[in-house]
Structure 1
Amino acid sequence: MTLKSRELMIEGAVKLLGQRGVHAASFTEIMKATGAPRGSIYHHFPEGKDQLVKEAVELAGKRAISFLNTLEGQPAEIVAEKFISLWRMLLSHSNFEMGCSVLAVTVESDSSDLLEQAAAVFQQWSDHLTALLNAGGLDLAKAKGLANVIIASCEGAVAISRAQKSFDTFDMVAEQLLIMIKSVSNPHQETK
């Protein structure tokens, strides 16, 4: 089954945002990347580029939540490990060409609506990750703090790894995050 042109354009925007940022995700570039005719862009997104970018951010957010939903019932350490691995996989599959579409909006957009949308997505991720870490054995305050540290650390590690075209920094950050989670999950156990 092929994607409808509207969905295809949103998919294209997610990809372009993650690869090249908001300014590169122009209608012209989206048409090139997706083969969408100019008229269909204006038909599906009458409010312009911001409407398309907002929907792309929403889709990127939903995808992460969908992934997090697969981790329900897992111990906190596994939840953290799998969430971190999602970001490593993004780098790996794109050969360091893809970053976070949501972060791209926060860095490049001056639209208050788009920044609010990005903030809402980050909050959804934080809330969901907090709930999973809490259900996985961490007390709520620690789960909330660690959820935010994990998200912020992964975002930064992805950006640095893209620049370096290397997993070195990402893997160091991931290792430290997992040590932190293990020390909180098992406070009486020594970490290596």
Structure 2
Amino acid sequence: MSQNSRDLMIEGAVKLLGQRGVQAASFTEIMKATGAPRGSIYHHFPEGKEQLVKEAVELAGKRALNFLDPHQGQPAVIVVEKFISLWRMLLSHFNFEIGCSVLAVTVGSESPDMLEQAAAVFRQWSDQLTAMLLAGGVASGQAKGLANLVISSCEGAVAISRAQKSFDTFDTVAEQLLMMIRNATNSPQENE
């Protein structure tokens, strides 16, 4: 099987995790979703489902980082608007039927390795958002906390929006986050 079939299986796992959680990301479901033959799954993921899920979480994490990359050096409010828009697009494109694959692993797995992979992704997001908020005018004493608040708030808003099949809560959270970022960039900067 080619590398493309391996990538297709990882893509399928990302989607299944976001739609139905860790339990649904079985090899059988991956095969149904991607058309991959059983032998290719075991060939590409000899360590089993956990290897596939960890790679799917890594891919989902990289996608968010790659989405933010073009906005390096922009004002903090633009950075946060873009991060929020990523989640809004996900909900909109999949009609509220998919959420964050990384969060799905966090709430649906008891595997220390899978949980550590999810934690690593959240740390990467926090580190990048922190750096971008600093560059975008947020004081150093506030940037890390605000980055973590943005991530956590977006994750919660996505989950609630999926349940409600509505952007009402999502939009309220987005509005509050942007107001906080505007206030943080209007406050005096720390001298460090």
TM-score, normalized by length of structure 2? 0.95
Aligned to 2:170: 170
Aligned equivalents of 1:86, 1:157: Cα separation in 2: 12
Aligned to 2:134: 134
Question: 1:109-188 maps to which residues of 2 (within 5 A)?
Answer: 109-187=109-187
Aligned to 1:10: 10
| Contact 2:76–2:132 (Cα < 8 Å) also in 1 | yes
| Contact 2:84–2:174 (Cα < 8 Å) also in 1 | yes
Aligned equivalents of 2:87, 2:36: Cα separation in 1: 29
Aligned to 1:71: 71
Aligned to 1:35: 35
Aligned to 2:107: 107
TM-score, normalized by length of structure 1? 0.95
Aligned equivalents of 2:104, 2:70: Cα separation in 1: 26
Name structure 1 gaps, 5 residues minimum: none
Question: 1:14-93 maps to which residues of 2 (within 5 A)?
Answer: 14-93=14-93
Superposition deviation, residue 94 in structure 1: 0.5
CA RMSD of aligned residues (A): 1.2
Change (3 A) 1:164 1:106: same
Aligned equivalents of 1:147, 1:163: Cα separation in 2: 25
Name structure 2 gaps, 5 residues minimum: none
Count of matched residue pairs: 187
Superposition deviation, residue 47 in structure 1: 0.3
Q: Determine which structure has the larger helix proportion and give its number.
A: 2
Identity among equivalent pairs (%): 79
Aligned equivalents of 1:181, 1:3: Cα separation in 2: 42
Superposition deviation, residue 96 in structure 1: 0.2
Runs of 4+ in 1 over 4 A off after TM superposition: none
Give, as a single letter, the amino acid of the residue that structure 2 aligns with 1:109.
Answer: S
Aligned equivalents of 2:122, 2:187: Cα separation in 1: 28
Give, as a single letter, the amino acid of the residue that structure 1 aligns with 2:147.
Answer: A
Superposition deviation, residue 139 in structure 1: 1.5
Secondary structure in structure 2 of the residue aligned to 1:70: helix
Give, as a single letter, the amino acid of the residue that structure 1 aligns with 2:79.
Answer: V
Aligned equivalents of 2:187, 2:148: Cα separation in 1: 20
Superposition deviation, residue 141 in structure 1: 2.0
Secondary structure in structure 1 of the residue aligned to 2:98: coil
